[in-house]
């Protein structure tokens, strides 16, 4: 998963849970602008702790797995 896909995934999870960016920002003490920038692939680096706080709030956790030597469907489709 790349940075853009992470932002899109976090946005989808937030919306599925019916949580606005502002509500998330207020509960986690992260600016709404930072959350918006992450979701829209406009931030340089918000830090792993913030990502983990967002995931935890949305009932998810970060997991590490071996990278597949084969391209994903999305990578094939997008010509990467």
Domain 1-80 is found in CATH 3.40.50.620: no
Residue 78 pLDDT > 80, yes or no?
A: yes
Domain limits, the chain: 1-80
The pLDDT tens digits for 5-60 are 899 999 999 999 999 999 999 999 999 999 999 999 887 778 899 999 999 999 99
pLDDT at residue 69 in the model? 86
pLDDT at residue 39 in the model? 95
Instruction: Give the chain as a 3 state SS string.
Output: CCHHHHHHHHHHHHHHCCCCHHHHHHHHCCCHHHHHHHHCCCCCCCCHHHHHHHHHHCCCCCCCCCCCCCCCHHHHHCCC
pLDDT at residue 30 in the model? 95
**pLDDT band at residue 74 using 50, 70 and 90 as cut-offs:** confident
Residue 73 pLDDT > 90, yes or no?
A: no
């Amino acid at each position: 998963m790349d940075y853009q896909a992470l932002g899109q995934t976090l946005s989808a999870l937030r919306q599925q849970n019916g949580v606005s960016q502002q509500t998330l920002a207020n509960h986690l003490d992260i600016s709404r602008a930072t959350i918006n920038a992450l979701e829209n692939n406009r931030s340089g680096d918000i830090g792993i702790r913030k990502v983990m706080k967002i995931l935890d709030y949305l009932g998810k956790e970060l997991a590490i797995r071996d990278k597949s030597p084969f391209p994903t469907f999305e990578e094939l489709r997008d010509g990467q």
